[in-house]
Amino acid sequence: MKPDASTRPETATAPARAGLLFGIGAYGLWGLLPLYFLTLAPAGPVEIVSDRVLFSLVVCFVLIAVTRAWRSLGAVLRSGRVFWALALAAALIAVNWLTYTFGVLTGHTIEAALGYFINPLVSVLLGVLVLKERLRPIQWAAVGTGAVAVVVLTVAYGQVPWIALILAFSFGFYGLVKNRVGAKVDAVTSLTVETIVLAPVALGVVVWLGVAGTLTLTGYGAGHFWLLAASGIITAVPLLFFGAAARRLPMTTIGLLQYIAPVMQFIMAVTVLGEHMAPERWIGFGIVWLALAVLTADMLLVSRRRRMNLRRAGLATQSEAQSAADLADREDSAAVAAQTSTGQLRAPHEA
């Protein structure tokens, strides 16, 4: 019998190819953020984040209008529990954005990248401490290795790497809050609500900077204005790409793609921005990468075990088992897509 077009391998893999391109696009754009922020000089971190909030809100309203999602937005704004959860998420992501921008503009892009390298480990740890999840021995080994890395890097930096830790924990708690919201709110609606919450503060900051005579948005020509205005699109486009990727790819693939952004930022900091990496810092980063390798290996082993169990359960062919396992992974990815509305993915984690 001639196979149906919907079951042909080339047709079945088309969404995966598209998802891979969307995923690479999302994390690639996030990886280039340091270069973008550096073009915004002489604007400081506080102004950049305030402008980013306001222009992101404009872009979100456009997207809501195009997708006719006003009813969904209204439902979230009227839902006390979901709204306040997103308000907390907004506060956490504001801390994350401000810390990251400060790190890049003050020559600490390497440390900022470190924050997103250790974020999956922090997310796993928060799962234990807050959600009372039980870790597998390999996951405990990864978390323990990550803790050793933080100690080594503290010695290497001569102080606690607070930029990295604030980024990792703020985004970890952000993901935790979004996890509690679950799939009730799509990514664009979520980002819209979060920027609505932050907009009054952002507008107040812009007005205050204007009165103080330090606002750069309108004082450095049209080019500078439009670079800052582009922050809305630069925030929204990777988010949309990520959402498209998460709907098409299994969780294991998303988990691997998440390292693209910090790797790009690390390489950029060392080769383009000229940030110094002393030998002891290389050792600390090496330990972090070892911990991530252990965590990633565990993730891949669990995914493989899931496929084997599905085959033993009676799925006749490897392709059927693969399809069922990928479907389960994509359901995890869809939940993650609902959790993420800013940038990097936390570890399932993940981002």
Q: Give the domain ranges of the chain.
A: 15-126+159-276+305-339
For residue 111, the model assigns a pLDDT of 92
What are the tokens at 322? Answer: 């693969």
Highest mean pLDDT among 23-37, 110-124, 292-306: 23-37
Mean pLDDT of 159-173: 90
The closest of 107, 3, 91 to 45, measured between CA atoms, is 107
Please say if the pLDDT value at position 33 is more than 90.
yes
> Phi and psi dihedrals of 259, rounded to 5?
-80, -10
Please say if the pLDDT value at position 270 is more than 80.
yes
Highest mean pLDDT among 6-10, 258-262, 335-339: 258-262
At residue 281, what is the residue type? R
Residue percentage of the chain with pLDDT more than 70: 84
Mean pLDDT of 102-112: 93
Mean pLDDT of 280-301: 85
The closest of 179, 205, 188 to 49, measured between CA atoms, is 205
Please say if the pLDDT value at position 251 is more than 70.
no
CA distance 58 to 34: 23
For residue 183, the model assigns a pLDDT of 67
What is the rounded radius of gyration, in angstroms, for the C-alpha atoms of the chain? 21
For residue 342, the model assigns a pLDDT of 39
Q: What mean pLDDT, rounded, does the chain reach?
A: 82
Please say if the pLDDT value at position 49 is more than 90.
yes
If one compares 299 and 211, the residue with the highest pLDDT of the two is: 211
The CA-atom distances, in angstroms, between 64 and each of 192, 246, 268 are 8, 20, 35
> Phi and psi dihedrals of 130, rounded to 5?
-100, -45
For residue 334, the model assigns a pLDDT of 42
Please say if the pLDDT value at position 6 is more than 70.
no
Least confident of 139-143, 162-166, 288-292: 139-143
CA distance 328 to 190: 24
Is residue 126 within 8 Å of 176, Cβ to Cβ? yes
CA distance 77 to 80: 7
For residue 292, the model assigns a pLDDT of 85
Predicted model pTM: 0.81
Mean pLDDT of 271-289: 88
Highest mean pLDDT among 48-62, 67-81, 256-270, 319-333: 48-62
